[in-house]
């Protein structure tokens, strides 16, 4: 049955990274689909929000305070998740440090912070989790990034480069682990809001660029993660899926 193909009953997931939206909605979606979920972030507030969103769904929820830019903490995060949940079937990377500044004004420390948060943290978590997935010869990795991985933006050099790096990491790992039972995919997000924002075009200039004339809701990304984490996508790897209201369909 189709519904059974999308079920994550008996699966375990790790949602890692500090983002404005994704952690709590993705964790809730995975739990609703039947997975036990570990949530890791450095922000105690985001851990609290994410666990609160998922706990009422009746699944085991574990929160792990982690500085995702510190490889030793990331390794400890993974070992704790494995200890608490038994294994990690699904890894969702949800780091997102927004940054905009004219290129000539970016300091080395600012550049490094963006790379550490948006790119290097993904490298650390994929490398640490993959050791367990390779032993099991099974796993799903989903990286939530930005459409700016494939599109430039004025004053967005650091951010665009960091997201482009994660996209290339997604593709290369998908190829490297294709025969090991591990799929690696990415979701490219556009403009999202937790409230209903579908006002008249003259009230919100960004909406004029969105064919659907509305912002996305973070819960819609959660549904895409469940799809990519499910058994129905065994033949899907190395792909970049837009969740952008049609934004990237423009020339």
Residue (of 113, 53, 122) closest to 93 by Cα position: 122
Sign of CA dihedral 249, 164, 35, 18: negative
> Which entry of 25, 124, 159, 227 is annotated as an active-site residue?
159
Whether the CB-CB separation of 94 and 23 falls below 8 Å is answered with yes
Residue (of 44, 3, 50) closest to 23 by Cα position: 50
d(CA 166, CA 114): 12
Element (H, E) at 134: helix 121-136
> Is 124 one of the annotated active-site residues of the chain?
no
CB atoms within 10 A of CB 73: 17
Backbone angles phi, psi at 67, to 5 degrees: -85, 105
CB atoms within 10 A of CB 58: 10
The residues carrying an active-site annotation are 159
């Amino acid at each position: 049955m189709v519904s059974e193909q999308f079920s994550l009953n008996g699966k375990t997931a790790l949602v890692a990274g500090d983002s404005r939206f994704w952690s709590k909605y993705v964790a809730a979606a995975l739990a609703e689909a039947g997975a036990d979920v570990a949530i890791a972030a450095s922000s105690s507030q985001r851990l609290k929000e994410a666990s609160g969103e998922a706990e009422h769904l009746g699944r085991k929820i574990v929160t792990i305070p982690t500085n995702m830019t510190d490889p030793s903490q990331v390794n400890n995060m993974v070992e704790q998740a494995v200890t608490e949940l038994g294994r990690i079937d699904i890894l969702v990377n949800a780091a997102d440090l927004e940054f905009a500044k004219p290129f000539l004004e970016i300091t080395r420390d600012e550049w490094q912070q963006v790379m550490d948060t948006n790119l290097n943290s993904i490298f650390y978590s994929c490398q640490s989790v993959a050791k367990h997935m390779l032993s099991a010869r099974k796993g799903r990795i989903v990286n939530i990034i930005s459409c700016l991985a494939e599109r430039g933006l004025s004053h967005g050099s650091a951010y665009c480069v960091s997201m482009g790096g994660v996209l290339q990491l997604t593709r290369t790992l998908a190829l490297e682990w294709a025969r090991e039972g591990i799929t690696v995919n990415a979701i490219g997000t556009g403009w999202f809001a937790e409230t209903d924002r579908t006002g008249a075009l003259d009230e919100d200039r960004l909406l004029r660029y969105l064919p659907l004339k509305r912002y996305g809701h973070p819960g819609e990304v959660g549904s895409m993660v469940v799809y990519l984490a499910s058994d129905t996508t065994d033949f899907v790897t190395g792909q970049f899926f837009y969740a952008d209201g049609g934004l990237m369909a423009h020339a």
